[in-house]
Amino acid sequence: MIILRPKVRFKVPIEAECISPDVFSDKSMDEIRKLEILYGNKRKPLGELFEIEEGQGDGETIKMEGDMSRVKHVGAQMSKGRIEIEGDIGMHLGREMSGGEILVRGNAGDWLGAEMKGGLITVHGRVGNLAGAGYRGSKVGMKGGTIIVNGDAGREVGELMRRGVIAVTGSLGEFTGALMTGGTIVCFGKLGGRAGAGMERGTILSFDRPSFLPTFKRSCVYRPTFVPLLLNSLRKYGLPIKREYLEGSYERYDGDIASLGRGEILVWVGS
């Protein structure tokens, strides 16, 4: 295990794509300390800004302790290993990752898991805007993997999502699942307005009745067979899954009919 702690309180943003098990795994401690990061507009060695030490445990685990809220791009494109963050972390955490696991005991910034392809991100705190989304100009957002948020999340979560699962125990901001072409978003709190705007396919599952765009059409009330399977698969993450959610009925709304219209918002209506 490699442990990183800030040497100072960061006053400007840091871009640290190199903080990744893929990068660290084949390097000595001296080589890790010499890796370059961008501190504001200056390039600096990682070891100048972080205390770096070798701890016990898995050689493909990175642990970060302290306030990292200005540190961006941690775990970018990672494909293996584990990152544990004890504190807040900045934007673009786990962007384009294809494997491995990231655990945050704190809050995370915007673009969490943007365009991720696989792996698991768990946040025990708040998350900013555009988690699991596609970057501006991209045609596809999240393509696989799982994002678990034990707290609230911001706007445009899952925008352009194609595959994978995003589950949020708290509330979601506006435009959740906008332009989705697949995948599943589960909201245990309040679902923000304009959910599913422009979605073509995919599922948004809500346990609190949201407001709907006029381009969503009520279809039926039924018991979808995949929902108990989905929720049971999410139990291992400690989500607030009640027995009534497994056995209850759901009201289905089809949309967005202003687009392809094969997406769905499912709202739990009780047993």
Averages of pLDDT over runs of 10 residues in the chain (271 residues) are 95 97 94 97 97 85 97 98 98 98 98 98 98 97 98 98 98 98 98 98 97 97 97 96 95 97 96 75
Nearest-angstrom CA–CA distance, 47 and 232: 44
pLDDT at 271: 75
Answer whether residue 64 is part of any domain: no
Rounded to 10 degrees, the C-alpha dihedral 163/169/172/176 comes to: 20
Under DSSP, is residue 10 helix (H, G, I), strand (E, B) or coil? Answer: coil
Q: Are residues 150 and 130 in contact, defined by beta-carbon separation less than 8 angstroms? A: no
Answer whether residue 33 is part of any domain: no
Answer whether residue 71 is part of any domain: no
220-227 long-range contacts, Cβ below 8 Å, gap at least 24? Answer: 220/251, 220/252, 221/249, 221/250, 221/251, 221/252, 221/269, 222/249, 222/250, 222/252, 223/247, 223/248, 223/249, 223/250, 224/250, 224/252, 224/266, 227/266
Q: Are residues 171 and 189 in contact, defined by beta-carbon separation less than 8 angstroms? A: yes
Q: What pairing do the DSSP bridges indicate for beta strands 50-54 and 2-6?
A: antiparallel
Number of domains in the chain: 1
Answer whether residue 66 is part of any domain: no
Q: Are residues 51 and 28 in contact, defined by beta-carbon separation less than 8 angstroms? A: no
Which amino acid is it at 148? Answer: I
Answer whether residue 60 is part of any domain: no
Answer whether residue 118 is part of any domain: yes
Domain of residue 192, residue span: 107-270
Answer whether residue 3 is part of any domain: no
Beta strands in the chain (DSSP E): 2-6, 14-15, 36-39, 42-45, 50-54, 61-65, 71-72, 82-86, 101-105, 120-123, 143-149, 163-168, 181-187, 201-206, 217-222, 249-255, 263-270
Answer whether residue 69 is part of any domain: no
